[in-house]
Amino acid sequence: MTRLPPVARPGICREVCDDVGAPGPMERQALLDLPPTLAGHVEALTRAPVLERVETGGAVTTDAPNPELPLRVVFWNAERLKYVADSAGFLAGLDADVILLAEVDIGMARSGQKHTIRELAAALGMAFVYATEFVELGLGDRRERAWFEGHENRSGLHGGAILARVPLSDPAVIRLGDTGDWFDGSRGERRVGGRIAVVARADAAGTDIAVAALHLESHGSPASRADEISRLLGVLDAYAAGAPIIVGGDLNTNTADRDVPDWPEHRREIAEADPQRLQSPVAFEPLFEHLAEAGFDCQSCNVAGVTQRTRPDGTPVAPFAKLDWLFCRDLEVAGPAIHPALSCDGSKAISDHDAISAIFSRQTGNHRAGRHT
């Protein structure tokens, strides 16, 4: 499919419900039967109101008072969240006040047909906000299609989420573009939708903070990722209305255009030419300039090191990159860390991404972060 400018859609959607209402099998088949073109994807968007909704649920079950600043915040690309019990054990061990998640399934064969975020929230005793990134019209990537051949998705939803043990309000989804690049199947999967940020306002004992779970396009280029960040910042500024902001995301900062022939070989060539490039991608990704110009601090929120890892099936393989980031505005930061995404007994990887965390506190003085260096 020829890549075209984003379809004109609302920047932020605030339709809140206790069930996003997944399309049934016949509705998903009707989406699959649309022509695999930009016009077909535009039509598909009109038939998928689930993409405009935000689901809230769960409950904070601790008897402790609402946490106040400083807050520990975790971001994790949970890779479908298919290991709910192991993920709950892993995240509980990080003792976070707010957890920002990417790649959360609802009703997918590859993740046991579970409403994964409801189960995870219940296991952790936290409230949640969820929004749909894609309506999945198939079983997933090449590996997942082989593993679950003959199965059918119950709901076919894939998105992002926020979990918290502080009160959350004003939940919403910011859609970063719906070009339909995944709709024709040329990337190995057929999907309706596009990348998102899930946002909410967290109340840290009276301090209002805007928090966002972000996922940028995995098949994009440095320029397209910078465009996505620009679209996010324009909406996020208005949403935060002057409140401090914390964002965690899989920014897919692989320093090159993923839509190239033989991407694995291209990535190896990049790493051989500059062994530090994938681990330190800032100079190759203009999105960091956009963040710095908007007053966001990335440097204090992150430590050096890659955030990818090998799954139990042996994929992906090195060289690995630093893809996952936290950034903030009008807050001070301490203790950034990377946490290996392993089951509690350490026997298996439960995602192809490690989690990251930092501790956020009130900013002293009236200054904003300077340019990222």
Each residue's pLDDT expressed in tens, for the chain with a length of 373 residues: 333 343 434 489 999 999 999 999 999 999 999 999 999 999 999 999 999 999 999 999 887 777 888 999 999 999 999 999 999 999 999 999 999 999 999 999 999 999 999 999 999 999 999 999 999 999 999 999 999 999 999 999 999 999 999 999 999 999 998 889 999 999 999 999 999 999 999 999 889 999 999 999 999 999 999 999 999 999 999 999 999 999 999 999 999 998 888 888 999 999 999 999 999 999 999 999 999 999 999 999 999 999 999 999 999 999 999 999 999 999 999 999 999 999 999 999 999 999 999 999 998 865 554 433 2
In the 8-state DSSP scheme, what is residue 283? G
What is the identity of the amino acid at 26? M
User: In the structure encoding, which two tokens stand for residue 83, read together?
Assistant: 């290991």
pLDDT of residue 108: 98
For the chain, domain boundaries: 12-362
Residue 9, classified by CB atoms within 10 Å of its CB into exposed (0-12), middle (13-18) or buried (19+), is middle
> What residue ranges in the chain does DSSP mark as E strands?
12-13, 15-17, 53-58, 71-80, 98-106, 127-136, 157-164, 168-175, 191-193, 196-204, 207-215, 245-250, 324-329, 331-339, 355-362
Q: How far apart (Å, rounded) are the C-alpha atoms in residues 213 and 236?
A: 12
CA dihedral of residues 260, 262, 263, 267 (deg, nearest 10): -120
Q: How far apart (Å, rounded) are the C-alpha atoms in residues 125 and 60?
A: 5
| Residue 62 parent element (H or E) | none
Q: Give residue 232's Cα distance to chain centre.
A: 13
Q: Which CATH class is domain 12-362?
A: alpha beta
Q: How far is CA 330 from CA 1, 209, 294, 361, in A?
A: 41, 10, 11, 9
Q: How far apart (Å, rounded) are the C-alpha atoms in residues 285 and 226?
A: 7
Largest CA distance in the chain: 60
User: CB of 105 within 8 A of CB of 157?
Assistant: yes
Q: How far apart (Å, rounded) are the C-alpha atoms in residues 265 and 277?
A: 15
Q: How far apart (Å, rounded) are the C-alpha atoms in residues 126 and 123?
A: 8
pLDDT of residue 366: 53
